[in-house]
Structure 1
Amino acid sequence: MIELDKTDHVIVRALMRDARVTSKALGEKLGLSQPATWRRIKRLKDSGVISGRRLRLDREKLGLGVTVFLGVKLATKRRVSLEDFERAVSAIPEVLSVEHVLGLYDYRLKVVATDIPDFERVLRRRIMTLPGAGEVEANVLLSEERRPGPI
């Protein structure tokens, strides 16, 4: 595990806000030279603290106006059932994330659709037909506030 100092935390927060910022511009804000800032960013990347850059898409502009979180309880919980379910659900393009969780449900899925009728189609034809799928609870996203995280 890498030890992060105050400057490292500032760098991580700045990159979380805008991953495209140059090491020169970031260094100027921090009072560091471009090479010193670049070395710190490289150290953060090499240690795995920074693992890549993500592209954030506007789902509404892409015609995906509905986001639903699904809690899925499997009908059976054998190892084969878990693997079959995970493999099958990962192939559904409308499913953005699959999380194996502890609690009332076995999995939490983040699903996008153009509208509620489209979501119903995805639910009935794709998700409810998955191997091992049992009880499902849907929560429709009303609004979302993106936060940079704890650092």
Structure 2
Amino acid sequence: MIDLDETDRALVRALAEDATASAGALGRALGLSQPACWRRIKRLREAGVFRGAQVELDVQALGFGVTVFLGVKLAAKGRAGVEDFERAVQAIPEVQTVEHVLGAYDYRLRVVARDISDFERVLRRRVMTLPGVGNLDANVLLSEERRPGPLG
């Protein structure tokens, strides 16, 4: 774990809001020179604070109007069953995230679809045919609000 000072925390917050910001612009906003800001970003990246840069997609703009969270309980809990499930679920393009969780279900999936009938097709033809799937529980997303992370 890396020790972060207030400037590091402000830098992390700024990059969490806009990962495309230049070191020069970030430095000006934080009262640092561009080289000093770049060195801090490099140190944070090397320490593993940043896992990479991502493009955040607007799924509705891409035609996906429904998001469903699926709780998946595996029928068998053996290592082979878990690995088979994880490998197979990664091949479903509508599944945006796969989270291995502790609780009533073994996995939580975030699934996008064009509409409810499209979701039903994904559920029946793809998710329910995954190896090891036992029980499923679906929750349809009504709205979503982004909240700042622990450093926000």
Give your verdict on TM over 0.5. Answer: yes
Structure 2 counterparts to residues 1-151 of structure 1, below 5 A? 1-151=1-151
Return the TM-score normalized by structure 2.
0.96
Whole-angstrom distance in 2 between the partners of 1:55 and 1:150: 21
Whole-angstrom distance in 1 between the partners of 2:102 and 2:87: 19
How far residue 148 of structure 1 moved from its aligned partner, in angstroms, is 3.0
Contact 1:17 1:148 in 2 (8 A): no
* Residue identity in the other structure for 2:74: L
How far residue 30 of structure 1 moved from its aligned partner, in angstroms, is 1.3
Whole-angstrom distance in 1 between the partners of 2:21 and 2:147: 18
Unmatched tracts of structure 1, length 5 or more: none
How far residue 19 of structure 1 moved from its aligned partner, in angstroms, is 0.8
Whole-angstrom distance in 2 between the partners of 1:128 and 1:116: 16
* Between 136-145 and 19-28, the greater mean CA deviation after superposition: 19-28
The alignment partner of 2:99 has SS state of strand
Contact 1:74 1:135 in 2 (8 A): yes
* Residue identity in the other structure for 1:113: A
Contact 1:72 1:135 in 2 (8 A): yes
% same residue: 70
**What's the CA shift string for 1:27-66, capped at 9, x where partnerless?**
1111111111111111111111112111011111101111
Q: Report the aligned-residue RMSD.
A: 0.9
* Residue identity in the other structure for 1:63: G
Contact 1:2 1:47 in 2 (8 A): yes
Whole-angstrom distance in 2 between the partners of 1:25 and 1:100: 38
* Residue identity in the other structure for 2:58: D
How many equivalent residue pairs? 151
* Residue identity in the other structure for 1:107: Y
How far residue 147 of structure 1 moved from its aligned partner, in angstroms, is 2.2
Whole-angstrom distance in 2 between the partners of 1:127 and 1:11: 40
